[in-house]
Structure 1
Amino acid sequence: MGIFQSGTFAAMPPSPTLSSPIAISRKRMVLLAFDGVNLLDLVGPLEALQACEDTRAAPTRYETIMASLSGGPILTSSGVPIITVRLSDIEDRAIDTILLGGGSRDGRPIVPPDLVEWIAGWHDRARRIGSICAGAFILAAAGLLEDRRATTHWQWAKQLQAEHPNVRVEPDSLFIQDGPIWTSAGVTAGIDLTLALIEQDYGYRVAIEAARRLVVFMKRSGGQAQFSAPLQFQSRMDGSFSDLHAWIRNNLTADLRVEKLAIQAGMSVRSFSRIYVDRIGHTPAKTVESIRFEAACGLLESREIPLKQVAALAGFGDEQNLRRVFLRRLALTPADYRTRFGAHVRAE
């Protein structure tokens, strides 16, 4: 049987042995695995860290260790085994960061009790700890998310909040840092989280270079939504109001108050407002803002035009309204967003 290790398939080797102590300038990153873990939850961050190492004339920045409680081969959710180091073999070593993948079985997140116990007793010996996807359930079970902001895959967000009411779950975020605890949304958001860790460690340019090597379109901020506004609305099972949403996207500068939307939908204001909330899950005004916000992001990313013009083209009217929405949604000003994600960044 083949195994996945460092991005290649190979014959199954014996359990690995740890290398000799490393230079103090390197940061030791431990990726925790367990039976049923999502492979991409671990391999995505691993490849992001490796992309950081591939930057030109750069010293080796990270030592990465794939570890588990038992050591040896761990079977992932996709059926591909990975070889891991036993956690007890590295407990005497300084660990900078612990990254924990997620997994699910029979419609529920996997929360191994022995791993929860290990994390609860050991986490404070690392500088920071992060989870990808449903790994947030393990951190929550260990008590690490109490009274903290956190996120997970949108599919699991309501369950995480219900099972751990003292966690401030933010279901729309790609990733969140709250002190030394980091959490991310599903699967590929683990790459976004890892790029943010790289930026924290070595700066924006190193993180952007790693993103380029991964052929990531751009390094996304943690506050960006897990999926786009149109995709979110299109995903409704019955396709409710899809024509209206398309009309909104094509008429961003029009009067999009609820009265006008009701006319476009061919309904009374009262019926439209009630049915819309029932089927979509939030008010028409929130939909309009989301679609306008996404349009503004696209303009800031692709065009070097004044912010006043961005606000007008996206339907926000003036620059102050644009700024207010960006601060509320991303904790960034439109100018800061353009600096981080604009076309000039991708062209450098």
Structure 2
Amino acid sequence: MKKRTKLGSTPTGPAQKRVVILGLAPVDALDVIGPAEVFALANRMHAGETAPYVLELVSAGTDVYVESETGIGLRGHRTLADERRASRPIDTLIVATGTGSLEHLDGTAIDWLRVRAKTARRVCSICVGAFALAEAGLLDGRRATTHWAMANRLAERYPAVQVDPNPIWVKHGNLYTSAGITAGIDLALALVGEDLGNSVALELAKGLVLFLRRPGGQAQFSVSLQAQKRMSPALDALRLWVNEHLGAEITVEMLADVANTSVRTLVRMFQREMKTTPAKYVEEVRLEAVCQALELGGRSLESIARRYGYQSVDVLRRAFVRRLGVTPKEYAQRFGTAATGPDEIEVSQSGRASVQRAYVP
């Protein structure tokens, strides 16, 4: 018999926010339990008479049990049919599913989601739950994220969605999308921060032994990770060589020599396998390493520039602004380990060379 985990529920009080997690089975169990633990801990830590949240799991299936991809079932509070009949107000609606659900998303649940999104204060997705929001048309014309390995699939299936594979989570209007799996915890912490203040969210993060905003992220060195997924053995060996020589001058001719091929052939290989040029790839890897160094702190910008192959701080600064849209100093202030300001609403999923900063359209 499968283990069943029950999420607690209490009657909604006048000052409470009703948080509904819609589970489209089979869900990734952590996509449900991770955010739920954040809201539950916020209730436990609350000093007032009325807990701030009522947390409920709604099953999109025919019974209250939501099966997960781990084989561990979650016992919800009601089915979607029950929820439709009751039609109670929802403050925050969170959609969780799993990769096994993406080819047969429940049409009834999608229709309900499309309607209820009009009245909920916030509508959120965890990881591949973004596919359900996109299927409902809620992300059309909006910026969104998902697990970095599923980003291309989301963009190809729903071309009207502005998919960004880099952030931990993105807010666009009242729509929130988060990256892979544990990123749902980051998003839930941010939602509590919006409701109860950044200091409360920080205490929750401490209680959960987490960063309020993680200095690295879900896919550390995502340029390299995604490159490995697509590269032939020849380019994979070249990738390793680039990572070992970031502090030195790297030209296309040098890369061609290392790969034992011509420059023209190397350029074609990068275009075919990486959809970029050798020079742009090297710059992305360098800037990714710079981002990671800035997030970790402890080094001067001068030493970082030298370490990663930039002739001067000015050269690094220009490349950084051109690619990321902010200066290295601004990036460090927002995403360094010492940054604690409450206004950041988008967190880096990785050190990848991309715009990783607060984003509110």
Asked whether the two chains share a fold, i.e. TM above 0.5, the reply is: yes
Does structure 1 residue 79 correspond to structure 2 residue 71? Answer: yes
Secondary structure class of the residue paired with 1:124? coil
Which gives a bigger RCO, structure 1 or 2 (Cα 8 Å, sep 6+)? 2
Contact persistence 1:29–1:62 (CA under 8 A):
yes
Residue identity matched to 2:74: I
Segments of structure 2 that go 5 or more residues without pairing to the other structure are: 341-361
Cα deviation for residue 221 of structure 1 reads 8.1
1:167 CA drift (Å) = 1.5
Match of residue 289, structure 1, among 261, 283, 297: 283
TM-superposed CA distance for 1:217, in Å, is 5.3
Deviation at 1:344, TM superposition (A): 3.8
With over 3 angstroms needed to count, the CA separation of the structure-2 counterparts of 1:204 and 1:265, relative to structure 1, is: farther
**1:158-196 deviations in whole A, cap 9, x for unaligned?**
332233222122234332211111112232222232233
Deviation at 1:117, TM superposition (A): 0.9
Corresponding position: 1:67 with 2:58: yes
Which residue of structure 1 aligns with residue 5 of structure 2? Answer: 4
Comparing 91-100 with 56-65, which one deviates more in the overlay?
A: 56-65
CA shift, 1:324, in A, is 5.2
In structure 1, what is the equivalent of residue 24 of structure 2? 34
Aligned counterparts of 1:134 and 1:254: Cα–Cα separation in 2: 40
2:250 equivalent to 1:260: no
- Paired amino acid for 1:31: I
Q: Is the 8 A contact 1:303 1:343 kept in 2?
A: yes
- Which ranges of structure 1 fall in alignment gaps of 5 or more residues? 7-15
Shift of 1:123: 0.9
The structure-2 alpha-carbon separation of the partners of 1:213 and 1:241, relative to structure 1 and needing over 3 Å to count, comes to farther
Q: Which residue of 1 aligns with 2:348?
A: none
Over the aligned positions, Cα root-mean-square deviation in angstroms equals: 3.3
1:146-168: CA deviation from partner (whole Å, max 9, x where unpaired): 11112223343333223322212
Amino acid at match of 2:4: I
Relative to the length of structure 2, the TM-score reads: 0.79
CA distance in structure 2 between the partners assigned to 1:309 and 1:56 by the alignment: 45
* C-alpha distance in structure 1 between counterparts of 2:52 and 2:322, whole Å: 35
Equivalent residues of 1:276, 1:283 under 8 A apart: yes
8 Å Cα contact 2:10/2:54 also seen in 1: no
Give me the whole-angstrom Cα distance separating, in 1, the residues matched to 2:234 and 2:286.
Answer: 19
Rounded Cα–Cα distance in structure 1 between residues aligned with 2:93 and 2:320 = 31
CA apart distance, 1:227: 5.5
In the other structure, the counterpart of 2:89 is 94
Q: Cα distance, 1:82 vs. partner?
A: 1.3
Query: Does the 8 Å contact 1:174/1:222 carry over to 2?
Result: no
- Number of the residue aligned with 2:271: 277
CA distance in 2, matches of 1:218, 1:243: 37
Structure with greater strand share of residues: 1
Residue identity (%): 38
- Contact conserved, 1:67 with 1:85, CA < 8 A, in 2? yes
Amino acid at match of 1:84: G
Residue 209 of structure 1 deviates from its aligned partner by 3.5
